[in-house]
Structure 1
Amino acid sequence: MTRSTDVVVVGGGQSGLAAGYHLRRLGLEHVILDAQAAPGGAWQHTWDSLRLFSPAKYSSLPGRLMPVQSGQTYPDAQHVVDYLADYEKRYDLPVQRGVWVEAVHRDGAFLRVATDGGDWQARAVVSATGTWTRPFLPAVPGRREYTGRQLHTVQYQSAVEFAGQRVVVVGGGNSGAQVAADLAHAGIDLIWVTQRPPRFLADDIDGRALFDHATARRRALDAGRTETGGVASLGDIVAVPPVRAARDAGLMAAKPMFSRLTATGVEWADGIAADVDAIIWCTGFRPALAHFSALRLRGTRGHIATTGTRAVDEPRLHLLGYGDWTGPASATLIGVGRPARDAARQIRELLR
């Protein structure tokens, strides 16, 4: 049996909920299909010590401020999960859980969304699947020959499981810095390697400032002014308190990226080698867009060409929350609200 609605939102994390909020405000019939068994999106699968880059009041979805977490300036992941669950309930968003979207097809005037529980027919689709389910591992020589443990950020939980071991953390972004700091504070024998020397943002800069910078840049580009550099021009790492403390204590002295893996560890271009028990790859993600393969829209680096959030070659499709290419800072809690609002408004015009 095929069910029908105006809009299908694929993904029930922060971006999907923001889309649902604005679609509901505009009176558009929609359903949110989420593969997870519980609310919270990717936040329910992060490592134990993860902290937001911004205080709670600057980490909110549209219409509902995130409450302050007692004793914490920067909330932890469980606080975000609780907030998203409350948000979904507060606005009575039509989330159906445990539904895996297999493919989206063109079907005349409609888009047909095929799931493991049957098909949906929609006049528009919003994809909000994020990147967490597509961890990226670089093609480093020897990676298959190394006999120790290798894991990605998505598999890391806490420093406890690495007690008594020597661990390499690869990555000079926020995840790499937070994981390295977590291990360093626990007294783990740590080697932190980065492609270039770590670039810490000024200690007083957090996610709110980054969002403002990204928004100003987008407005400047839209107005035809010269590119001044995105958020990355300010630095790569937000110095949240645990990272700042480890850095200032000299526990996070980064080494340059090694050139290859050996059977027992890592080796640099100058021949220096180190035996290690585990390697944690904090090397980023790619957008989870396999459900659109039948539409043949993929471009470079797995992206789909967009104007704002709308797919250039399929105007019934909007992409939300994958990064700056789908809206300034749209992969953040505070940043996804405006692109979600714009997408909902464009869908309303399309349906008219």
Structure 2
Amino acid sequence: MSSETILPQTERKTDNASERNDVRTLLKADIVVIGAGQAGLSSAYHLQQLGLKSWKNYLVLDKSPGAGGAWQYRWPSLTLTTVNRVHDLPGLRFSDAVDVGDEVKASVAVPQYYAAYEQKFELPVIRPQTVTVVCERAGRFRVETEQGGFSARGIINATGTWETPYIPAYPCAESFKGRQLHTHDYKTADEFAGKHVIVVGGGISALQLLDEISRITSTTWVTRQEPQFRDQPFTSEDGRAAVAIVEDRVRRGLVPGSVVSVTGIPWTPALRAAQARGVLNRLPMFTDITENGVRWADGTEQRADVILWCTGFRSSLDHLAPLQIREENGGIVMAGRLATQVAKDPRIHLVGYGPSASTIGANRAGGAAARELASHLGLLEG
């Protein structure tokens, strides 16, 4: 649903079509959901199912010009075959909304699915609205965006991690004469043809890109720890066990750990083929970056043209800094049924953080956050 449908005429800056999402005055709602990816849409759906139908009850702010969350920015070669998995949002199956052919690009299919989902349930998503800061004013939250301002009694933050790629600091990294980039910036392996690429990281994305790039050019694979591969299929029991470990961490205020470090990496036909080609000869992390490559502690060097950092992401929470929800160690003490509630302030829920940082986890967490926050704010009947 566009802002033209949900905002009263008095709240619009102009009737000009290009400015209909600009907010002239501070628009007030009970709950503001920040982000319209899997976690944000799931939260919005559950708020609606609780009977919160009006835009005065809740709004969803999304920074992108169109539906799709971070999926619309994924590399073109990521298809519905190679993606880890796209879980259905509640109330609408993926296969009922879009073409699910194996070679369909995830960056195309998932945005189509999210757009269909928003339309089917008439979710009050306003875009583009880039949230810059959230602070407290007179017992309410002031949500400032590049386009205007909003006021809320409660916040469900669902901004994910895509906007916060992490690259560890290494000595003399700035002296490297080649190219350094992160998974966030990867497009296609073809651009590395004829160059030696060092792939850093032991997660699923790192291995997918290592396999893809190694088909085009020479590679070196390095990780901080020895990756753990799984011969057995990943079961629902394994998933619950992994989530429980991460949930325990955030309830104690620790920084969430990597889910892969708990679950291990399942062998796939593509990885078996890469192993047979000699691609999965993992080396430990180097200690220095030189002008022409990297160097290990024993003095061994590897020349390289490209360093691809597949070193993960951090939660995109800088806009919440004025609310002072972090502990000194950088973690956040989480509470609530599924650890979505910020213990320091029950008016704030984080969905897509910690144990809910997965598509299936975000669905369940969205439901829990919606009910707990609506109940806390006295919005539920009975």
State the shift of 1:347 in Å.
1.4
For the pair 1:201 / 2:234, whether they are aligned, the reply is no
Give the alignment partner of residue 281 of structure 1, picking from 306, 309, 331.
309
Gaps of 5+ in 1: 222-228, 325-329
User: Is contact 2:60-2:124 (8 Å) kept?
Assistant: yes
In the TM superposition, what whole-angstrom CA distance separates every residue of 1:181-238 from its partner, at most 9, and x where no partner exists? 111123x1111111122222236327x66534335668999xxxxxxx9955654324
After superposition, the C-alpha distances for 1:261-317 in whole angstroms (9 at most, x for unaligned) are 101101111211111100000111111111111112222564332111111111111
Alpha-carbon offset, residue 123 of structure 1: 1.2
- Residue 245 (1) aligns with residue 269 (2): no
Secondary structure (helix, strand or coil) at the match of 1:345 reads helix
Cα-to-partner distance string for 1:70-99 (whole Å, 9 max, x where unaligned): 442998343222222222222111111111
Asked whether the 8 Å contact 1:172–1:236 carries over to 2, the reply is: no
- Of the three residues 15, 22, 26, the one matched with 1:2 is 26
Check conservation: 2:43, 2:370, Cα contact below 8 A. Answer: yes
Residue 6 to residue 234, structure 1, CA distance change in 2 (3 Å): closer
> How far, CA to CA, are the matches of 1:127 and 1:220 in structure 2?
20
| Secondary structure at 1:160 match in 2 | helix
Partner of 1:132: 162
Give the Cα separation in 2 of the matches to 1:72 and 1:86: 20
- Partners in 2 of 1:220 and 1:298 — Cα distance? 17
Q: Decide whether the 8 Å contact of 2:221 with 2:280 is kept in 1.
A: yes
| Match among 342, 353, 360 for residue 322 of structure 1 | 353
Q: Residue in 2 aligned with 1:297?
A: 325
The amino acid across from 1:193 in the alignment is V
Quick one: distance in 1 between partners of 2:26 and 2:248? 45
Distance in 2, matches of 1:243 and 1:73, equals 18
1:123 alignment partner in structure 2: 153
Indicate conservation of the 8 Å contact 1:182/1:242, yes or no. no
Partner of 1:262: 290
Equivalent residue of 1:168, what SS? strand
Q: Quick check: 1:11 aligned with 2:41? A: no
What residue number does 2:84 align with?
53
Please state whether the residue corresponding to 2:360 is helix, strand or coil.
coil
User: Which residue matches 1:84?
Assistant: 114
CA apart distance, 1:5: 0.9
User: Does the 8 Å CA contact 1:153/1:280 hold for their aligned counterparts?
Assistant: yes
Shift of the 280–200 alpha-carbon distance from structure 1 to 2, 3 Å rule, reads same
1:311 aligns with 2:342: yes
Please give the alpha-carbon distance, in whole angstroms, between the structure 2 residues aligned to 1:196 and 1:218.
19
Structure 1 moving runs of 4+ over 4 Å? 68-71, 215-221, 229-235
| 1:342 partner letter | A
SS at match of 2:173: coil
Letter in 1 for 2:83: L
SS in 1 for 2:175: coil
**Cα root mean square deviation, aligned:** 2.6
Aligned to 2:16: none
Compare 251-260 and 35-44 and name the one that shifted more.
Answer: 251-260
After superposing the two structures, state which structure 1 stretch, 32-41 or 77-86, moved more: 77-86
CA 1:11–1:210 in 2, change beyond 3 Å: closer, same or farther?
A: farther
Cα gap change, 1:216 to 1:277, in 2 (>3 Å): closer
Contact 2:158 2:352 in 1 (8 A): yes
Change in 2 beyond 3 A, CA 1:210/1:72: farther
Q: Residue 230 of structure 2: SS of its match in structure 1?
A: coil
Q: Secondary structure at the match of 2:265?
A: coil
CA contact (8 A) 1:53 1:74 kept: no
Is the contact between residue 127 and residue 317 of structure 1 (CA under 8 Å) also seen in structure 2? Answer: yes
- In the alignment, structure 1 residue 72 sits paired with structure 2 residue 96: no
State how far apart, in whole Å, the 1-side matches of 2:68 and 2:272 are: 27
Size of the alignment, in residue pairs?
Answer: 336
Amino acid paired to 1:139: A
- TM-score of the superposed pair, with normalisation by structure 1: 0.87
User: In 2, distance between residues paired with 1:155 and 1:218?
Assistant: 27
TM-score, length of structure 2 as denominator length = 0.81
Cα distance change of structure 1 residues 254 and 65 upon mapping to structure 2, 3 Å threshold: same
Query: How far, CA to CA, are the matches of 1:103 and 1:215 in structure 2?
Result: 30
Q: Residues 18-77 of structure 1: CA distance to partner in whole angstroms, max 9, x if unpaired?
A: 1111011112221110111111111111122333223x5xx1122222218544299834
Q: State the Cα deviation string for residues 143-202 of structure 1 (Å, max 9, x = none).
A: 11111100011001110100111000000111211110111123x111111112222223
User: How far apart are the structure 1 equivalents of 2:201 and 2:223?
Assistant: 5
Q: Distance in 2 between matches of 1:142 and 1:219?
A: 37
Question: 1:346: which partner in 2?
Answer: 372
